[in-house]
Amino acid sequence: MKIILLGAPGAGKGTVAKLLSEYDGSVQISTGDILRSAVKTGSELGKKAKAYMDAGDLVPDELIMALMRERLAAPDCRQGFILDGFPRTIPQADALKGLLRELRIELDFVVSLEVPREVILDRLTTRRTCSNPDCQEIYNIKSNPPLPDGRCKKCGSLTIQRDDETEAAIQYRLETYEKKTSPLIEFYRTEGLLRQFPSVSSVETVAAVKRQLGK
């Protein structure tokens, strides 16, 4: 499958992307995960991105496009991909359209995950993420907790609350989403690619996406 997942922070893009990727082997491409790993390893990209990320701001479009140009041209994307957290702005969506044309890649559709704000706030403040950059498993202290000592069930590393998941940072990220990312819904509606999925569980969303794909 070749799809984009759109949705506010905390709408469940990461979980849905992971499940879809396990289903047919399409690669999950999360710009957030790539950037967090870059910050951890201290690469050039990481150094440039860190301050924006800590503030809950978007990283500049040029940096993201340089990263995605390379990523989408990689051979593993030929089989299929799930874009999780990209594009995030109209300039990114425009640039992606050109890039896909260049690479002769056609998207199946764009999945818009529609989740009420109260649900999002609750989910984000209770989220914990594995601190191992190669793992980054996501937990929720209410519905899917890590081990009792706070360690990751998969790799044993400590799970943490991300710096950008404090209450204040979340409010700011949601405002950024409204201002910069939500216009993408109209953009993809106009392109005839938008498919809207109301707030349900990740498993139900995945089933609905598969039906939409005719699988």
Size of the site for ligand AMP (CB under 6 A): 18
For the bound state, the minimum distance from the C-beta of residue 86 to ligand AMP, rounded and expressed in Å, comes to: 4
Given 97, 162, 189, 210, which residue is catalytic? Answer: 162
Contacts to ligand AMP from residues 137-176, by CB under 6 A: 164, 173
Question: Contact between 35 and ligand AMP (CB under 6 A)?
Answer: yes
Q: Given candidates 4, 38, 53, 82, which one binds ligand AMP under the rule CB under 6 A?
A: 53
Using CA atoms, how far residue 167 sits from 22, 55, 122, 179, 201, in Å, is 32, 13, 10, 19, 23
Question: Contact between 31 and ligand AMP (CB under 6 A)?
Answer: yes
Q: What is the DSSP letter of 12?
A: S
Q: Given candidates 1, 3, 4, 9, which one binds ligand AMP under the rule CB under 6 A?
A: 9
Structure tokens given for 4: 């984009």
Nearer of residues 92 and 112 to ligand AMP, judged by Cβ: 92
127 is catalytic: yes
Strand, helix or coil for residue 30: strand
Q: What is the DSSP letter of 103?
A: T
DSSP 131-198: S-TTT--EEETTTB---TTSB-TTT-PBEE--GGGSHHHHHHHHHHIIIIITHHHHHHHHTT-EEEEE
Question: Contact between 18 and ligand AMP (CB under 6 A)?
Answer: no
Nearer of residues 88 and 128 to ligand AMP, judged by Cβ: 88
Positions in the binding site for ligand AMP (CB under 6 A)? 9, 31-32, 35, 52-53, 56-59, 64, 85-88, 92, 164, 173
- By annotation, the residues acting in catalysis are 13, 88, 127, 162, 173
